[in-house]
A and B are shown apart, each in its own frame.
Chain A
Amino acid sequence: MSALRTGRAVLARLTELGVGIGMALLALMATIVVVQVGARNLLDLGLPWADELARFSGIGMVFLSIPALASQRVLVSVTMVPDMLGRRAQMVSAVISDLSVLVCAGLLLWSFAAFLPRAGKFLTPALQLPNYFYYSLALIGTALLAVVMAFRMIELLTGRLPELTDPVDIPQ
């Protein structure tokens, strides 16, 4: 049991780290965009690389933060039907939901394994970065997502039932 507890703590740290790096990438993105405005309007500089770097930050931010959202079960979902059917149904729904995230992450990893060996060396247009680098954060985030959800399944099999939280709000 203590191995499970350690695992849980490590994964919580890692997902938290993902969000932390996501926050840093967001701050970087905002800075790049403002610098771009200033450079163009004040210094007559176009900075063709800035947009690509901002997009790189955006992709990384999204994929590194998903594991935390998934492990807290706050990804947008429509729980109306399970909610109507009561606590047992909610429990089943939570398990199915976690399982579907796990399968999805696994398939995405498989896809990365097919995609990157071929397309990894292709270069991005502006910065001429290889895709290996450009998509590296997305790959790391997906791998973490898979590990987090797999661990969730192990916990479930060893008898730990899902804790149910309220559905959470997101801006749309």
Chain B
Amino acid sequence: KTTLRYGHNNEPASVAGAQADWFAEALAEASGGDMEVQVFPASQLGKLQELAEAVSLGTIAFSHNTAGGIGSLYEPFGALDTPYLYRDVDHLMKVTDVSSPVMQMLNEGLIAAAGVRVIYSHYFGKRNLTCNKEIRSPADLAGVKIRAVPFPMYTTAVEGMGAVAVPVDWSEVPTALATGVVQGQENPVNVVLNVKLYEVQKNLMLTGHMTNAEMVVMNESVWQGLSAAQQAAVQAAAEATRIKATKAILDNEEAETQALRDLGMNVIGAEDGLDLEAFRASVSTLVSERFGERYGEIYDMIGKIA
């Protein structure tokens, strides 16, 4: 019997956290009890970035991360977190399918550079902006401080939308929003709901400026050490969990937005005058300025995937 460790940073109750447990169950079943996955949620074994490294070092077998996070192991992965890159969730799922040409290429590079392979990725959500102030166009964000994940791509998204990108440690985000260190932040709606950001933020703008996939990664030597049957079991469990998690997030997204409305947030979408085209144009300009050269080829490949 093979026991493998899966460490991640999410709460077990969130979909991103629960899907690790689903994967563990699915793998136990697909392998007929031959493979067991021990899940360590909530950063028990280390912080987000550290966990990605830990998979590379072989300390743990599995973890998950955003494409941007995996980009610190193999830089080109960062391209997959580019704002306004995908036409829709379906497009994202096709691009991030491990058998797509883009993912095959990136995965080869990741295996060579870090000894890590992506085994599946699921839809994690569309990132939206929340702010104390009503925002309808990039001009409304001039001089407004928005908390940004301190990765160049994420900072670019916030700056591209017209705001000042400010790094704030995740543990301080609710407090920083309450005291006004920053006036807003950006995250998928499930995060806004689970972390109770509606208590400290009035407006939710459905900017959908990033469509994120969460990538589940595995240590390559562990993968190579598996028998053909075990590898097949991993693939089967991966496919099942990918579909289940994506569906769960999609199903929840609408309900969560409604829940935020019911909790008193002012939700502003395109029909309420949110100028999505202006955001897309302004962000894309900054993205091609900063990343166009570096990621141009990958963007072309992604654009060609139907």
Contacts and interface: CB of A to CB of B under 8 A. Distances in A.
Contact between chain A and chain B defined by CB under 8 Å: yes
A133 interface: no
Interface string B131-155: 0000000000001010011111001
Contacts of B164: 40, 44-46
Interface residues on A, range: 20 to 34
B143 A125 contact: no
Contact of A126 (B69, B150, B166): B150
Contacts of A44: 143, 145, 164
Interface in A96-137: 114-115, 118-119, 121-126, 128
Interface string B145-177: 100111110010000000011110100000000
B49 interface: yes
A44 B139 CA distance: 15
A121 B149 CA distance: 21
Nearest to B163: A46
B72 interface: yes
A119 B53 contact: yes
A124 B143 contact: no
Contact of A48 (B49, B71, B73, B155): B155
A155 interface: no
Contact of B167 (A46, A119, A122): A46
Contact of A122 (B72, B155, B166, B169): B72
A51 B167 contact: yes
Nearest to A131: B53
B303 to A, nearest CB: 26
A118 B115 contact: yes
A123 B75 contact: yes
B150 A51 contact: yes
A52 interface: yes
B56 interface: yes
Contacts of B298: none
Interface of B: 49, 53, 56-57, 69, 71-73, 75, 113-115, 143, 145, 148-152, 155, 164-167, 169
Interface of A: 40, 44-52, 114-115, 118-119, 121-126, 128
30 contacts: A40-B145, A40-B166, A44-B164, A46-B148, A46-B155, A46-B164, A46-B165, A46-B167, A47-B167, A48-B148, A48-B155, A48-B166, A48-B167, A49-B150, A50-B167, A114-B57, A115-B57, A119-B56, A122-B72, A122-B114, A123-B72, A123-B75, A124-B72, A125-B69, A125-B149, A125-B151, A126-B150, A126-B151, A126-B152, A126-B167
